């Protein structure tokens, strides 16, 4: 029987508008369900449909992970340095280290093209819940229903792409209770315009990551091109003439990564006890390996910096998430909320019959998952961590095999509409550094042997009697897939892949069989149950709450809001809403990670000590929001989000604005740095700040 169709977007909006003023500034809101009435009531700011549309059409998604925004009619894109770091790193050379020295294109011709970057702009949203759910309604078996829903999603995307020419993604919301078709205009010719030196973009380094106060110019500018010319865009954000102000309401349109606020206690306990600890052990091992590799030479330092930053950033974030799940107060709240929901369901016979057994089903699924999670994480979901070469090899092996299948039978990431982005990454001319690949793969093999056991059949097969280092050298040194022509030859011919003696292709084939086997087990036994049970739990929660909840983040467009506001820290001291240039200079020691670049020291007399540099707000942001423009109620840029404080990491599960803050670079500090430190007059003129 066909499942109940989830609330329409209009119904959700109506429910939110009618809800009592109890939401605070919490929420990563869909454009189709923004709480306009709540914002007007609490902050006295009326959010128009036109403003929402402007945010939707001006914000862009960096498919490398992050957000940006159009800030001129000529396709100028504003984002974080760390969001654009992958491109910045790849454009550098041993004699031209753009990460270390920064970059400014004096002319359009000097703008440098990124080898494999794609930007997406959300053009339209369509509710396809009925189509997806109906596809899975014909099967009582959760695993088969899950496959049928995925097949339907791929076919919906294919039809959308054929009729519109846009990138089309079916987005799962409320754990599968609702499905939206997001239609994106994509840009694949992206060029670097400006990036500051790494030392000021990430001043304070890993010790000050996820902290506040901060003194970072974590910004970069790129430009989208079409047909070899700067893209002409109709919607973009204008720069504020006054900048950020204390107490002002700000809006943050972006693409938050993943949150777990609607997850059950069973799911949270699984992450706390099983998933996060393994991930942290894996990252810690890789970080130590990268640091050892980078200590060997200045060139190793250059090529490894972006990889290390990514691993350290993720390690610190997940450590913060896990601290939240180990906090008795947070988990007590989650258990109490869940128990209250279950009691309310149990009190109604119809609700009890419909929803009462869902938690037991989840507990059974996750109980089984604990037994093979290490295999899933190491062979499938996290196998390529830190290794560009293994990611390429796996991509080639799977591309050759998956593209032989009908679209509806492929892995979701190889559906027809996903292939252009995958091909762009697979055939990227970005440099690959074999010595770093050997170090990373050796660490992977050693970690796999430790976690799965040295007698594990796959570990034995991979090592083949060698040490992890020797095995890594064998696979990397006998591979030709650094050559783009070889990648294309193999990807086009599944037989050639199957017969290939290429070291990395052989390694990818060894891993792929067990990886796909454990992936199928996960999808059939866990994902299918979670999709059905969690969606119905979300439905029960909505029915009982009146529809006031937003979906968990999915790295898709959302809007957050909140005032610019300081806080009281754990020591009882007031933390001001903003830092200023005056606070930067005393922190400079001349040694990493507290090196103030020479360009800044030279410009110091010109920079006003009182100019706001970084600031905080209560806006509810997370993960992929990095690079989101920070807007005042007029829709003007007053900053850019680049981080959150350590107190805000548990917000992944429960929102709080007591101490948790989003951290932004102030627009007035950016403008002053562009003018006096970098002499970026052409860029300032384009921003309307000349």
What are the pLDDT digits (tens) for 619-671? Answer: 999 999 999 999 999 999 999 999 999 999 999 999 999 999 999 999 999 99
Average pLDDT over residues 127-138: 94
Contacts of 195 (CB under 8 A, 6+ apart): 81, 84, 88, 98, 102, 103, 201, 220, 221
Residue range 55-61: mean pLDDT, rounded:
98
**For residues 278 and 377, is the Cβ–Cβ distance under 8 A?**
yes
* Rounded mean pLDDT, 204-232: 98
Q: 358: which residues sit within 8 A by CB, 6+ positions away?
A: 533, 534, 536, 537
Domain boundaries, the chain: 9-118+188-256+553-686, 265-535
DSSP conformation letters of 591-618? STTSPPPHHHHHHGGGS-TTSEEEEEE-
Interaxial angle between packed helices 298-325 and 81-91, expressed in degrees from 0 to 180 and rounded to the nearest 10: 150
pLDDT of 13 strictly over 70: no
pLDDT at 22: 38
pLDDT above 60 for 509: yes
DSSP 8-state assignment for residue 378? I
Which contacts qualify for 595-598: CB closer than 8 Å, 24 or more apart? 595/199, 595/203, 596/199, 596/200, 596/203, 597/102, 597/196, 597/197, 597/199, 597/200
Confidence of residue 239 (pLDDT cuts 50, 70, 90): very high
CA 648 to CA 633: how far, in whole Å? 24
| Intra-chain end-to-end CA distance of the chain, in Å | 64
> Alpha carbon of 316 to those of 32, 479, 625, 653, 662: distances in Å?
33, 34, 17, 16, 16
Do residues 474 and 453 make contact, with C-beta atoms less than 8 angstroms apart? no
Per-residue tokens: 590? 């001349």
List CB contacts of 657: < 8 A, sequence separation 6 or more. Answer: 24, 25, 26, 562, 618
**CA-to-CA dists, residue 205 to 64, 568, 664, angstroms:** 21, 24, 16
Q: What is the pLDDT of residue 23?
A: 46
Q: What is the mean pLDDT of residues 38-45?
A: 96
The DSSP letter of residue 29 is B
Confidence of residue 140 (pLDDT cuts 50, 70, 90): confident
Decide if 141 contacts 232 (C-beta within 8 A). Answer: no
Give per-residue pLDDT as tens, 374-404: 999 999 999 999 999 999 999 999 999 999 9
**196 pLDDT more than 90:** yes
Share of the chain above pLDDT 90, in %: 92
Does 315 have pLDDT greater than 60?
yes
Q: Is the peptide bond before 213 cis (omega within 30 degrees of 0)?
A: yes
Please return the burial class of 131, using the count of CB atoms within 10 Å of its CB with bins 0-12, 13-18 and 19+. middle
Q: Could you tell me the pLDDT band of residue 547, with boundaries at 50, 70 and 90? A: low
Q: Which of 550, 676, 607, 521 lies closest to 12, judged by CA?
A: 550
169-184 pLDDT, tens digit per residue, is: 999 999 898 999 999 9
Instruction: Provide the mean pLDDT of the chain.
Output: 94
| Res 12: pLDDT | 33
Half-sphere exposure of 171 (CA within 13 A, CB side): 26
Enter the tokens of residue 134.
């109906």
| Mean pLDDT value across residues 116-139 | 95
CB 612 within 8 A of CB 244: yes
Measured distance CA(54)–CA(370) in Å, rounded:
45
Question: pLDDT at position 7, please?
Answer: 31
Q: Which tokens is 240 given?
A: 């504020």
Output Rg (C-alpha) for the chain, integer angstroms: 25
What does the pLDDT read at residue 19? Answer: 35
**Over residues 496-505, mean pLDDT:** 98
Structure letter (DSSP) for residue 302? H
**Confidence bin at 24 (pLDDT 50/70/90):** low
Mean pLDDT, rounded, for 513-522: 98
Output the pLDDT for position 653: 96
**Can you give the pLDDT at residue 483?**
98
User: pLDDT-based confidence at 579, cuts 50/70/90?
Assistant: very high
The DSSP letter of residue 213 is: S
Cα–Cα distance for residue pair 229/69, rounded to 1 Å: 18
Neighbour-count burial for 458-484, b at 16+ CB within 10 Å, e otherwise: bbeebbeeeebeebbbbbbeebbbbee
- The token pair at 244 is 């950020």
Q: How confident is the model at residue 11 (pLDDT cuts 50, 70, 90)?
A: very low
Distance separating alpha carbons of residues 196 and 80, to the nearest angstrom: 10
Tokens 């240039």, residue? 581
pLDDT (average), residues 50-79: 97
Judge: domain 9-118+188-256+553-686, CATH 2.40.10.120.
yes
Return d(Cα 542, Cα 355) in angstroms, integer: 13
Calpha distance 340→363 (Å, rounded): 18
pLDDT of 545 higher than 90: no
Strand partners, 192: 112, 222
* 8 A C-beta contact, residue 201 and residue 218: yes
3-state secondary structure of 93: strand
Mean pLDDT of 334-355: 92
Q: What percent of the chain lies above the pLDDT cut of 70?
A: 96
Nearest 5°: CA angle at 487, between 376 and 96? Answer: 95
405-417: average pLDDT: 97
């Amino acid at each position: 029987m066909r499942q109940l169709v989830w609330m329409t977007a209009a119904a959700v909006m109506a429910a939110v508008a009618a809800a009592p003023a109890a939401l605070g500034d919490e929420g990563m809101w869909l454009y189709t369900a923004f709480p306009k009435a709540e914002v007007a009531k609490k902050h006295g700011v009326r959010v128009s449909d036109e403003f929402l549309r402007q945010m939707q059409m001006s914000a862009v998604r960096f498919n490398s992970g992050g957000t940006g925004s159009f800030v001129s009619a000529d396709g100028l894109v504003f984002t974080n340095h760390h969001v654009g770091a992958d491109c910045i790193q790849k454009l550098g050379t041993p004699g031209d280290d753009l990460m270390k020295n920064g970059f400014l294109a004096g002319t359009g011709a000097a703008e440098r093209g990124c080898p494999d970057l794609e930007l997406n702009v959300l053009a339209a949203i369509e509710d396809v819940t009925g189509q997806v759910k109906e596809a899975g309604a014909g099967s009582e078996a959760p695993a088969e229903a899950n496959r049928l829903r995925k097949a339907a999603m791929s076919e919906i995307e294919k039809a959308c792409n054929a009729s519109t020419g846009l990138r089309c993604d079916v987005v799962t919301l409320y754990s599968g209770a609702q499905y939206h078709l997001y239609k994106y205009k994509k840009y694949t010719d992206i060029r670097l315009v400006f990036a500051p030196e790494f030392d000021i973009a990430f001043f304070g380094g890993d010790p000050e990551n996820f902290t506040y106060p901060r003194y970072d110019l974590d910004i970069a500018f790129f430009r989208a091109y079409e047909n070899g010319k700067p893209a002409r865009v109709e919607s973009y954000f204008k720069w504020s003439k006054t900048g950020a102000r204390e107490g002002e309401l700000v809006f943050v349109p972006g693409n938050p990564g993943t949150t777990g606020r609607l997850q059950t206690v069973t799911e949270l306990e699984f992450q706390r006890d099983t998933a996060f600890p393994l991930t942290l052990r894996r990252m810690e091992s890789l970080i130590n390996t990268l640091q050892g590799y980078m200590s060997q030479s200045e060139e190793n330092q250059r090529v490894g910096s972006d990889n290390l930053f990514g691993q350290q950033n993720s390690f610190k974030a997940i450590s913060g998430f896990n601290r939240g799940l180990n906090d008795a107060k947070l988990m007590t709240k989650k258990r109490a909320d869940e128990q209250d929901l279950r009691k309310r369901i149990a009190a109604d016979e119809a609700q009890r019959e419909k929803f009462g057994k869902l938690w037991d089903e989840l507990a059974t699924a996750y109980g089984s998952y604990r037994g093979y999670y290490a295999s899933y994480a190491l062979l499938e979901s996290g196998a390529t961590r830190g290794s560009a070469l293994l990611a390429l090899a796996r991509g080639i092996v799977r591309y050759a095999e998956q593209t032989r299948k009908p679209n509806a039978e492929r892995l979701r990431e190889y559906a027809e509409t996903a292939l252009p982005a995958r091909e762009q990454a697979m055939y990227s001319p970005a440099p690959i550094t074999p010595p770093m690949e050997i170090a990373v793969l050796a660490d992977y093999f050693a970690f796999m042997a430790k976690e799965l056991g040295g007698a594990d059949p796959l570990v034995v097969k991979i090592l083949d009697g060698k040490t992890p280092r020797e095995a890594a050298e064998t696979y990397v040194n006998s591979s030709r897939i650094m050559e783009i022509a070889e990648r294309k030859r193999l990807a086009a011919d599944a037989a050639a892949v199957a017969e290939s003696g290429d070291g990395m292709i052989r390694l990818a084939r060894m891993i792929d069989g067990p990886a796909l086997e454990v992936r199928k087990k996960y999808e059939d036994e866990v994902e299918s149950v979670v999709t059905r049970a969690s969606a119905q739990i979300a439905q029960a929660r909505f029915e009982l709450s009146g529809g006031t909840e937003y979906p968990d983040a999915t790295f898709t467009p959302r809007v957050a809001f909140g005032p610019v506001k300081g806080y009281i820290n754990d020591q009882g001291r007031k933390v001001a809403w903003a830092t200023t240039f005056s606070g930067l200079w005393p922190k400079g020691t001349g040694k990493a990670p507290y090196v103030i670049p020479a360009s800044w020291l030279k410009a110091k007399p010109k920079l006003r000590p009182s100019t706001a540099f970084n600031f905080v707000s209560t806006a509810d942001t997370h993960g992929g929001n990095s690079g989101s423009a920070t807007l005042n109620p007029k829709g003007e840029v007053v900053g850019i989000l680049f981080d959150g404080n350590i107190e805000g990491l548990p917000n992944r599960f429960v929102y709080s604005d007591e101490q948790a803050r989003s951290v932004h670079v102030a627009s007035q500090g950016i403008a002053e740095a562009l003018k006096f430190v970098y002499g970026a007059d052409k860029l300032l003129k384009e921003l309307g700040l000349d």
